[in-house]
């Protein structure tokens, strides 16, 4: 009796189950399994190949004592904070301008969004060229007469992250602007009518009424930008290769180098686990905010 | 059309008709001004890329990067395509281009096929646990790729496809699944359930309904999915560099090698031509697809 | 006494499309005027023009003797209530009511006074510290009305305020609005597509269609003497019956098929002989009887009846046309019965089919 029912359940809707097999496998094997594997093996002393030689927190101790790792974290933090602020502010500001019933909206949007269609490698390389001290912006301004003008971020360890920032903003703000604009357009038109009748000036309406109403959009944007920042890799590889020296190293590069070049799996896995942790720190509060309040998830 | 002028009516004094609005008001100047300035920021790199790629090296050394070429030459483009050195060989980007194409086509087809069937199953044929798996899938898409890089290497090695084309195709399928499944799931949710029920009453099964009803109705979303995947896969770098051998390197990896690993004299015009070539495919798709592109990335952004 | 609102030759074009055509409208002080019509007739557009939310193409708008054609909405002395309430979701009710006043630099004690007065009139005192999300639909609408109240203006504009509410709440709030009007005596311009609201609330109704006012009159005039075919068919539920025929004998009789009806006692203009005419009869102005009266009845066959509670709506067939008659439920005839319908000519409306106007 029990076998019959069990068999029945397995074969019911069998086509769908087979069809969903890729999703199930991917979820279990790659996302869940892979993540667990990485975390578990980060506690081992694996070098070229994985070994079950557990050494507790040794990898993490070495990680946090490693100046290159510390530099990567610091770099990413600097980049991250500015990227977050600038992207959201510029993205929102541009969206507000586009929301003013202007003409040529499609043209403006096409121009602002096309960088998003490009690879980070392309972005990094073209900005590397523009910021080239010999031929790029610095030389042009100098040729105009300002001979002592200095703008050489890519060779200046103190401000190289800002050189990356300029390129990153160029690529991403158009996209954020589109999302913000969609959010703005979702606001009930009657709210605008009400503020006009009440005599509230436009700028005040945006700040006091509209922005609070767009809380969900801002949170989505925050999550998107943050997860993009943590994954920062291609752009750095192309624009600065992590240099000068270690001045623009980022955690993702640390992971790649230790996993594949330095033949130190343990370190690489420990570093990836740290990256995972940082994402969770952002994700879990967001998930709680989004789904925790309601009981359906 | 009645032409009414205020003066012709008794008792009509003061403002009448449309309020005069100056086109060049302070507000308009600020709005369009800021937008135009920002657009300069956005267009500049494209301009520089194209201009540089059409100049000869002597002109580059002399001039400024913003100026158009005095003498236009397509030599850099030819060199970038056929002769540039990547450190391994000097066959130009064409190799990388065709590699990218060979990676792109199966990856796009497989990832969309799998995800669309997934979305369809999730909406119309839900089974116990299907939604849970989907939620985990979506959460998984936030995990940085670096965390899963090595386990996938092991997986591919076990399957014997590490370093081959199909290994990379599989990787793209796996990582494309969350967003694409979400895209298709949301789309299929909006198809009225009555259609599906009527088809079942007519005796159609899982695959029958998928091919004869769902797919034909979903052309727009397939196009959006294709745009999303072509852009994402063509622009990919990390997977291309981890999961392939040098003779299979996609265009992005080759490009990076050409520009960044060449010692000695840097040929900036060739570099820019190479960069343009790599960016051309997604750019063309972007300009052609217009609103569909926006729809695709907006769908990716609205997770859940 | 100055008129509260005067609209002079107002025209509004969206590009090539003419949305409002040369409108003229005068609203007296304290009057409750309803703009009624189907979707797309321009009633909301007219309201938005009055509010200053839409720029007009031609014409003028005067409010309380002042030309406000080019004035901003907040300078026109109006308050507005929207269909979707449009309350500021992040502010409390008190915040919603005082936001506009604070922005206008009204002193704090004056604000408090006005908020308290509005809260008292609308019975929303216990809600003052809640946010709109925690209110029911009816409560939200009251707060929306309160927002207009605190502006201390003479003219209130309502844009289909009850359309988002369910039927029961709608009738409750309808009465509230009527009470509000009798207490405050403000001028109220009210847009709706619901004729019940129009008939119960209005001092005068402006029936609109295609950007033109079809008829501007008191509710009972609109009901009993509709100016044209459109108004006649639009107002009244169940709808008016229309019988095609012609007027003959110098306008003394209405002929259709084999029937001739005597038109003596008709209230209207000079009938004359019109080859294309329509006789409009409301279901309650027909009676079912079993005997014929020359010139006052015509035969019909009972087909089906629709019980509607106290009354029944009986459908009959006469000369190939479908006629509906309202009878008390107990008196409803059997289906298939051959009866005679008596017409009340004094309450009927004759229309000339060529120009659709009432005769």
Contact list, B14 vs chain C (CB under 8 Å) = 60, 67, 69
pLDDT band at C100 (very low <50, low <70, confident <90, very high): very high
Tokens of B27: 């507000």
pLDDT, tens digit, 9 for 90 and up, residues B208-257: 888 888 888 888 889 989 998 999 999 999 999 999 988 889 999 999 98
Q: Are both A129 and A18 inside the same structural domain?
A: no
Task: Give the mean model confidence (pLDDT) for residues C167-173.
Answer: 89
Asked if residue B177 lies in contact with residue A26, where contact means CB atoms within 8 angstroms, the answer is yes
On whether both A179 and A284 belong to a single domain, the answer is yes
Average pLDDT of chain A, as a whole number:
86
Q: Supply the pLDDT for residue B303.
A: 43
In eight-state DSSP terms, residue C333 is P
- Look at B63 and C285; give whichever has higher pLDDT: C285
Q: Which is nearest to C145 in space by CA: C92, C188, C200?
A: C188
Residues of A in contact with B298 (CB under 8 A): 178-179, 182
Distance, CA of A251 to CA of A76 (rounded, Å):
7
pLDDT tens-digit series, residues C225-280: 999 999 999 998 889 999 999 888 888 888 888 888 888 888 888 888 888 889 99
Looking at the structure, tell me whether residues A98 and A167 fall in a common domain.
Answer: yes
Chain B residues with CB-CB distance to C60 below 8 A: 6, 12, 14-17
Enumerate the residues of chain A whose CB falls inside 8 A of the CB of residue B226.
none
**Could you give the 3-state DSSP secondary structure of residue B281?**
helix
B294 contact A CB<8A:
yes
Percent with pLDDT over 70 in chain C: 99
**Each residue's pLDDT tens digit, A30-68:** 888 888 988 888 888 888 887 778 888 888 888 888 889
Residue B67: pLDDT band (50, 70, 90) is confident
Residues A221 and A259 in one domain: yes
B 69-108 residues with CB < 8 A to A? none
Interface residue ranges in chain C relative to chain A, Cβ cutoff 8 Å: 48, 51-53, 72-75, 78-80, 82-90, 99-100, 103-104, 147, 151
pLDDT computed for residue A11 by the predictor: 65
Q: What is the mean pLDDT of residues C21-36?
A: 92
The C-alpha atoms of residue C288 and residue C331 are separated, in whole angstroms, by 9
Considering the entire predicted model, what is its pTM? 0.85
Task: Report the b/e string of C292-329 with b at 16+ CB within 10 A.
Answer: eeebbbbebebeebeeeeebbbbbbebeeeebbbbbee
Q: Do A156 and A19 share a domain, yes or no?
A: no
| CATH number of the domain within which A121 lies | 1.10.3720.10
Which pLDDT band holds residue A294 (cuts at 50, 70, 90)? very low
Q: Provide φ and ψ at A118, rounded to 5°.
A: -90, 155
Does one domain contain both A188 and A235?
A: yes
- Chain B partners (3+ C-beta pairs within 8 A): A, C
Quick one: pLDDT band at residue B73, thresholds 50, 70, 90? Answer: confident
Domain carrying residue A235: 58-292
Query: For a pLDDT cut of 90, what percent of chain B falls above it?
Result: 26
Domain ranges (residues) in chain C: 5-234, 241-352
* Residue in A with minimal Cα distance to C78: A197
Mean pLDDT calculated for residue range C316-332: 89
Query: Which letter does DSSP use for residue B68 in this model?
Result: P
- At residue C355, does pLDDT exceed 60? yes
The string of pLDDT tens digits covering residues C57-89 is 889 999 998 889 888 999 999 999 999 989 999
**Pairing assessment for the beta strands C5-14 and C17-27 based on DSSP bridges:** antiparallel
Q: Is the pLDDT of residue B266 over 90?
A: no
C26 forms bridges with which residues in the sheet?
Answer: C6
Say if domain C241-352 classifies as CATH 3.40.430.10: no
Q: How far apart are the first and last CA of chain A?
A: 35
Note whether residue A49 is domain-resident: no
Is B207 at the interface with chain A, CB within 8 A? yes
Which residues in chain C have Cβ-Cβ distances shorter than 8 Å to A213? Answer: 89-90
Contact B4 C58 (CB under 8 A): yes
Same domain? For A122 and A27 the reply is no
Judge if A111 and A27 occupy the same domain: no
Mean pLDDT of B40-50: 92
**Would you state the pLDDT for residue B268?**
86
| Residue A191 resides in a domain | yes
Q: Is 50 exceeded by the pLDDT of residue A142? A: yes
Verify whether the Cβ–Cβ distance A194 to C82 is below 8 Å. Answer: yes
Q: Does residue A195 contact residue C103 with C-beta atoms inside 8 Å?
A: no
- Whether residue A297 lies inside any domain: the answer is no
**Banded pLDDT at A297 (limits 50, 70, 90):** very low
Q: Please tell me whether residues A79 and A222 are part of one structural domain.
A: yes
Mean of per-residue pLDDT scores for chain C: 90
Mutate to test the interface with A, among C47, C72, C74 (most CBs of A within 10 A): C74
Say whether pLDDT at A296 is over 50: no
What integer best gives the mean pLDDT of chain B?
Answer: 84
Residue B4 pLDDT > 50, yes or no? no
Please give the average per-residue pLDDT across C173-178, as a whole number: 92
Is residue A107 in some structural domain?
yes
Mean pLDDT of A111-133: 92
Residues of chain B contacting C55 with CB distance shorter than 8 Å: 18-19
Answer yes or no: is A72 within a domain: yes
d(CA B184, CA B86): 40
The residue ranking higher by pLDDT, C45 or A156, is C45
Question: For residues A102 and A92, what is the distance between their CA atoms, to the nearest angstrom?
Answer: 16
pLDDT value for A1: 46
Cβ C4 vs Cβ C186: under 8 Å:
no
Domain assignment present for A117: yes
- The answer to whether the CB of C263 falls within 8 A of the CB of C252 is yes
Answer whether residue C15 shows pLDDT above 50: yes
Q: Which of B84-93, C30-39, C94-103 has the lowest mean pLDDT?
A: B84-93
Q: pLDDT tens digit string along C303-312?
A: 998 998 899 9
pLDDT at position B111 is: 93
Average pLDDT over residues B159-163: 89
Handedness of CA A233, A237, A238, A244 (dihedral sign): positive
**Per the CB < 8 Å rule, is C89 touching A194?**
no
Q: What is the pLDDT of residue B11?
A: 52
3-state secondary structure of C285: helix
The tens digit of pLDDT for each residue in C199-225 reads: 999 999 999 999 899 999 999 999 999
Q: What is the pLDDT of residue B167?
A: 92
Structure tokens at A183: 């959010």
- Chain A residues within 8 Å of chain C (Cβ atoms): 188, 190-191, 193-194, 196-201, 204, 208-209, 212-213
**What is the predicted pLDDT for the residue at A173?**
93
The torsion region of residue C40 among left (phi > 0), alpha (psi -120 to 50) and beta comes to: left
pLDDT tens for residues A2-14? 455 555 556 667 7
pLDDT in tens, B274-291: 999 999 999 999 999 888
Region B44-54 average pLDDT: 90
Closest to B215 measured CA to CA, from B206, B295, B150, C197: B206
CATH of C5-234, one of 3.30.413.10, 3.40.50.300, 3.30.870.10, 3.30.559.10: 3.40.50.300
Contact residues on chain A for C140, CB-CB shorter than 8 A = none
Task: Please list every residue in chain C whose beta carbon sits closer than 8 Å to the beta carbon of residue A209.
Answer: 88, 90
Query: What does the pLDDT read at residue A235?
Result: 93
All structural domains of chain B, each given as residue ranges with its CATH number in brackets, are 25-73 (no CATH), 94-301 (1.10.3720.10)
- In the predicted model, what is the mean pLDDT of residues A151-167? 88
Nearest chain C residue (CA) to A187: C86
Tell me, yes or no, whether A198 lies in a domain. yes
CA distance C81 to B157: 68
Q: Identify whether A132 is part of a domain.
A: yes
Residues 6+ apart with CB under 8 A from C267: C225, C346
- Tell me whether residues C70 and B19 touch, CB distance under 8 A: yes
Percent of chain A with pLDDT over 70: 93
Omega within 30 of 0 (cis) for the link into C131:
no
Do A113 and A206 reside in the same domain of the chain? yes
Average pLDDT estimate for B105-132: 88
**How many separate domains does chain A show?**
2
Q: DSSP of C155-180, one letter per residue?
A: EEEEESTTTTS-HHHHHHHHHHHHHH
Q: Are residues A116 and A250 both part of a single domain?
A: yes
Q: Does B64 touch chain C (CB under 8 A)?
A: no
Q: Which two tokens stand for residue B90?
A: 């000097």
Has residue B135 got a pLDDT over 90? no
A–B interface: beta-carbon pairs under 8 A = 256
Asked if B275 lies within 8 A of A38 by C-beta distance, the reply is no
Of residues C127 and A262, more confidently modeled: C127
Rounded Cα–Cα distance for residues C157 and C50 (Å): 8
């Amino acid at each position: 009796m029990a076998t019959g029912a069990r068999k029945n359940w397995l074969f019911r809707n069998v086509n769908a189950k087979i069809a969903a097999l890729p999703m199930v496998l991917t979820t279990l094997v790659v996302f869940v399994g892979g993540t667990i594997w990485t975390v578990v093996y980060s506690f081992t002393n694996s070098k070229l190949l994985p070994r079950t030689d557990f050494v507790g927190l040794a990898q993490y101790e070495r990680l946090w004592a490693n100046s290159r790792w510390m530099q990567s974290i610091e770099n990413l933090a600097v980049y991250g904070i500015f990227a977050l602020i600038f992207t959201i502010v510029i993205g929102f500001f541009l969206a507000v301008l586009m929301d003013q019933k202007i003409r040529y909206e499609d043209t403006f949007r096409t121009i602002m969004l096309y960088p998003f269609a490009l690879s980070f490698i392309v972005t990094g390389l073209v900005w590397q060229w523009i910021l080239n001290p010999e031929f790029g912006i610095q030389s042009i301004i100098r040729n105009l007469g300002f001979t002592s003008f200095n703008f050489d971020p890519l060779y200046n360890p103190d401000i190289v992250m800002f050189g990356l920032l300029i390129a990153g903003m160029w690529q991403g703000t158009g996209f954020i602007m589109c999302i913000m604009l969609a959010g703005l357009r979702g606001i009930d038109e009657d709210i605008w009518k009400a503020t006009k009748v009440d005599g509230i000036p436009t700028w005040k309406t945006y700040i006091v009424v509209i922005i609070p109403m767009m809380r969900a959009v801002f949170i989505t944007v925050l999550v998107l930008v943050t997860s993009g920042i943590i994954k920062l890799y291609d752009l750095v590889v192309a624009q600065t290769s992590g240099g000068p020296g270690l001045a623009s190293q980022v955690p993702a590069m640390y992971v790649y180098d230790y996993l594949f070049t330095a033949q130190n799996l343990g370190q690489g896995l420990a570093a990836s686990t740290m990256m995972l942790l940082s994402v969770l720190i952002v994700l879990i509060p967001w998930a709680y905010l989004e789904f925790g309040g309601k009981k359906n998830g | 059309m009645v032409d009414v002028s205020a003066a012709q009516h008794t008792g009509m004094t003061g403002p009448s008709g449309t309020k005069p609005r100056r086109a060049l008001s302070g507000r308009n100047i600020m709005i369009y001004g800021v937008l135009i300035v920002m657009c300069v920021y956005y267009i500049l790199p494209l301009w520089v890329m194209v201009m540089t790629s059409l100049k000869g090296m002597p002109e580059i050394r002399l001039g400024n990067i913003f100026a158009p070429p005095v003498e236009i030459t397509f030599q850099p483009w030819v060199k970038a395509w056929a002769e540039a050195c990547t450190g391994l060989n000097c066959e130009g980007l064409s190799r990388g281009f065709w590699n990218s194409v060979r990676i792109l086509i199966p990856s796009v087809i497989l990832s969309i096929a799998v995800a669309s069937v997934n979305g369809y199953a999730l909406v119309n044929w839900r089974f116990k646990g299907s939604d849970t798996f989907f939620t985990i899938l979506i959460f998984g898409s936030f995990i940085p790729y670096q965390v899963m890089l090595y386990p996938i290497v092991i997986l591919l090695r076990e399957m014997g496809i590490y370093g081959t084309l199909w290994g990379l195709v599989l990787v793209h399928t796996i990582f494309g699944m969350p967003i694409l499944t979400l895209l298709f799931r949301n789309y299929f949710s909006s198809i009225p359930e009555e259609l599906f029920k009527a088809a079942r009453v007519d005796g159609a099964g899982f695959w029958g309904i998928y091919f004869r009803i769902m797919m034909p109705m979903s052309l727009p979303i397939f196009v959006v999915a294709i745009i999303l995947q072509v852009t994402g896969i063509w622009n990919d770098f990390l997977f291309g560099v981890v999961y392939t051998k040098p003779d299979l390197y996609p265009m992005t990896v080759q490009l990076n090698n050409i520009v960044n690993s060449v010692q000695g004299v840097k040929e900036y015009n060739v570099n820019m031509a190479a960069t343009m070539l790599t960016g051309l495919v997604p750019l063309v798709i972007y300009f052609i697809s217009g609103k569909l592109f926006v729809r695709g990335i907006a769908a990716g952004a609205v997770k859940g | 006494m100055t008129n509260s609102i005067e609209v002079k030759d107002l025209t509004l074009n969206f590009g090539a499309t003419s949305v409002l055509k040369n409108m003229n409208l005068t609203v007296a002080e304290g009057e409750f005027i309803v703009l009624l019509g189907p979707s797309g007739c321009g009633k909301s557009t007219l309201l938005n023009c009055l509010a200053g939310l839409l720029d007009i193409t031609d014409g003028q708008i005067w409010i309380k003797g002042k030309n406000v054609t080019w004035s901003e909405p907040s300078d026109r002395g109006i308050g507005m209530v929207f269909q979707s309430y449009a309350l500021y979701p992040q502010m409390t009710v008190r915040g919603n009511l005082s936001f506009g006043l604070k922005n206008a630099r009204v002193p704090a004690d004056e604000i408090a006074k006005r908020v308290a007065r509005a809260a008292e009139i609308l019975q929303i005192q216990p809600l003052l510290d809640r946010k709109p999300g925690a209110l029911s639909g009816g409560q939200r609408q009251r707060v929306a009305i309160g927002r207009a109240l605190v502006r201390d203006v003479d003219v209130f504009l309502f844009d289909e305020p009850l359309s988002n509410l369910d039927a029961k709440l709608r009738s409750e709030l309808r009465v509230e609005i009527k009470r509000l009007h009798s207490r405050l005596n403000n001028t109220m311009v009210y847009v709706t597509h619901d004729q019940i609201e129009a008939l119960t609330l209005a001092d005068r109704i402006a029936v609109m269609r295609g950007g033109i006012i079809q008829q501007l009159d008191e509710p009972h005039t609109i009901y009993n003497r509709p100016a044209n075919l459109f108004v006649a068919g639009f107002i009244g539920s169940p709808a008016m019956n229309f019988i095609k025929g012609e007027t003959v004998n110098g306008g003394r009789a209405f002929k259709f098929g084999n029937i001739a009806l005597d038109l003596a006692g008709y209230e209207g203009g000079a009938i004359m002989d019109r080859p294309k005419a329509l006789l409009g009869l409301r279901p309650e102005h027909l009676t079912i009887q079993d005997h014929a009266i020359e010139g006052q009845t015509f035969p019909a066959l009972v087909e089906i009846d629709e019980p509607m509670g106290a009354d029944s709506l009986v459908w009959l067939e006469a000369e190939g046309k479908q006629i509906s008659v309202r009878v008390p439920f107990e008196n409803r005839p059997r289906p298939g019965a051959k009866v005679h319908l008596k017409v009340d000519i004094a309450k009927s409306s004759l229309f000339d089919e060529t120009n659709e106007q009432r005769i």
